[in-house]
Structure 1
């Protein structure tokens, strides 16, 4: 009888350990599944890129046209932009601060345009000095209800010999100077 009791105790212990291991493996599997699901949702988020090089026209005004394409799987809603144009020297006030909001949703593989015009007679001269052009985008993923912020840093070499130059990307070494300028001119929103 004591042998039978010992056998039952060992089988009970074995069953308890097996159940604990099974529970642990189940918890790890659920954790991995949740992390994978969250990663897939984040990878499907809306995200904007330039569809083509921005066009620049100089007539009686200076105009830039940016075409953004949503390359994410999810649509974007409540797209708003704040565009800031300022001299490369970082010593002058911004030439342009433009806010723009798109009413419609922007589905996957859909293009939306951003048009900017500068009409200042003081600014429009035969040659125009290099400018930084910063575009701060904010939009919502309607599926996850998450708000995304995307900032695009570009540099415009200006007008040389009456010919508008093409936009280029800002060098990494210039980014901190730009952020300091934006903060000192109260053009950055404080982070929550």
Structure 2
């Protein structure tokens, strides 16, 4: 695990991320808080592009929990069968839709605890929804952020919870809102798992990754 970078270095890293992309966006298509919850839940062990292809038509006909329940599990399954673990995901989406209708008046709650209580919704999913829809500076740590945080020294940690705390503790507050988006995109397209593109990386001179000079 890399050592923790100092405050000034981290500020410079995120200043560069901001200069390159002032308003980074998540790549999952959605039209409201409900479709965002569904899209993120479907994205586990799947690519955003694959989820977007599957939900393009789905969200045209089922963009509320009431409409999803009317579509039913079989109807939902027909739309998402190209996504990994689609059967279990379909069951969870129907279950969470039922809970939203019965317990929350069809609205998506905006507390982490309430979101996590929904079937198929974990802490990462809850944080994505809190960040992207309600613009709360919650940090959704995925494999890209975990890898980048430890390689670079931005937010090292032995597990995702430790990395999440490191982001909250060490990244300046003015960069917290978009921190996880910058890091996901950098990890997905530059700091790749097998062949990181260190030669063209905008934070190469600040990163603590030992193999970047090879």
**TM-score scaled by length of structure 2:** 0.23
More helix by share: 2
More strand by share: 1
**Higher RCO (CA-CA < 8 Å; seq separation 6+):** 2
Larger radius of gyration: 1
**TM-score scaled by length of structure 1:** 0.24
